[in-house]
Amino acid sequence: MYYVVPQTKEISTTYNGKTYKRLVYKPFKSASGIIDENYPEWDSTTTYNQGEYVIYWNRIYRSAADGNQGNFPLEHPDMWVDYGFVNSYRMFSIDEGIGAVTKGSDVVLEFDFVTADTIALIGAKWNKVIIEQVDNDEAPITGESLGQGDGATTKFATQKKPVYMYSETVYIDGTQQMRDQDYAIDYFSGEITFANAPASGANITIDYTPTLKTMEITGRDYGATSFYEYFYSAWADKTRLIINDFTRLIVDGLVWTPNSTLRLTFTGDVEIGAFVMGLQEDLGATLYGSSMQIQDKSKVMIDEFTGARKIVRYGKVRVLKALVYNDMGDFSEVARKINAITGKNVLWIPSEEDRFAEMSNIAYISDADLPIDNPKALKASMNLIGVIE
């Protein structure tokens, strides 16, 4: 069983000299393709009537009364109903909003990717995503020669590849060429194809940024365990995307802390329940006998006067029972790790990912049992309560 403690960020706001703080999963530094609700920003001088909505501190509030003026939403829950984060921030909510998702189309997300080797999208629906990691400490390449034209050749290639999407500028004899008009580029191979062959003797140069890693993932790239399944089996919506092979460079026993940017470019409609990143740790081998429950948290409410019944939908959660094997000599290390992450939301990834991928989830430890009944083997059991479907 592997786990990742998600990186978080403390966000704050100050009103009348008082500072309010909230912890969220580490958010993006830029985003496109995601549209937030268009309610007005809360203003202390504006009078709001019952049912009117405002936005404050990336959250949506609905006025609970007429004549609502000067009542700060964070200090007056009797006057404002908190509807949770705006669309773009729902995927970074830590302890609330089970079932809420961030929605967008042709979404592009950029993150500061530091001291991390794993990302996870949980409760997600997507068609295709291109993931790129760029080392910010590596200077962009300028003036690289692609060669000289001969009047016939149309294809040329960069020395380093893959190429960071849209980072390139191509020149012929110093004149900038237009992407998708004068040339096309394959960012994975670094190959550039000109619409018309450069003239004989023409100097072809390029400025660009190479990536540390680029990968393209579609529904058919994820989850197949055999040739037959890949080509012939029906495919359900993929709701979990775990990417954990971003390179962690080890130099002389020291862990390199990267200063990189991570960009995800989605094609089509996207829904993301949670997005987390962090360093992956190993807790031991996942044993058969591990299990997953899916629990609906809806409740039946009965009116005490009329007896009328209604169902209030609170969403559903996954409850994992993980059985993890270690050598007994690792007891102290396993106990230390479990103690350190108890009380936190943690991304859990079973060790046999292809077989147990649906057990991957963000969950907290409700209880853990580390029996000392075998001189050689430690078979720990943990109950993990999912915080997102």
- What is the distance, to the nearest Å, from the Cα of residue 133 to the centroid of all Cα atoms in its chain? 14
Residue 240 binned pLDDT confidence (cut-offs 50, 70, 90): low
pTM: 0.86
3-state SS string for the chain: CEEECCCEEEEEEEECCEEEEEEEECCCCEEECCCCCCCCECCCCCCECCCCEEEECCEEEEECCCCECCCCCCCCCCCEEEEEECHHHHHHCCCCCCCCCEEEECCEEEEEECCCCEEEEECCECCEEEEEEEECCCCCEEEEEEEECCCCCCEEECCCCCECCCCCEEEECCEECCECCCEEEECCCCEEEECCCCCCCCEEEEEECECCEEEEEEHHHCCCCCHHHHHHCCCCCCCEEEECCCCCCEECCEECCCCEEEEEEEECEEEECEEEEECEEECCEECECEEEEEEECCEEEECCCCCCEEEECCCEEEEEEEEEEEEHHHHHHHHHHHHHHCCCCEEEECCCHHHHHHHCEEEEEEEEECCCCCCCEEEEEEEEEECCC
Residue-wise pLDDT tens digits, 263-294: 999 999 999 989 999 888 899 988 888 888 88
Residue ranges of domains in the chain: 9-93, 139-209
For residue 191, the model assigns a pLDDT of: 98
Mean pLDDT, residues 311-334 taken together: 86
What average pLDDT does this structure show over 154-175? Answer: 98
- Is CATH 3.30.70 the classification given to domain 9-93? no
**The pLDDT value given to residue 107:** 97
Please give the pLDDT value at position 246.
Answer: 41
* Tens digits of residue pLDDT in 121-135: 888 888 888 989 999
* Percent of the chain at pLDDT exceeding 70: 87
Enter the tokens of residue 92. 């970074």
Find the mean pLDDT for residues 352-378. 82
Q: Is residue 389 over pLDDT 90?
A: no
Are 311 and 30 spatial neighbours (Cβ–Cβ below 8 Å)? no
Q: How confident is the model at residue 97 (pLDDT cuts 50, 70, 90)?
A: confident
CATH architecture for the domain at 139-209: Sandwich (2.60)
Which pLDDT belongs to residue 157? 98
Cα(323)–Cα(1) distance, rounded to whole angstroms? Answer: 9
At residue 292, the pLDDT reads 85
pLDDT tens digits along 291-308: 888 888 788 888 878 888
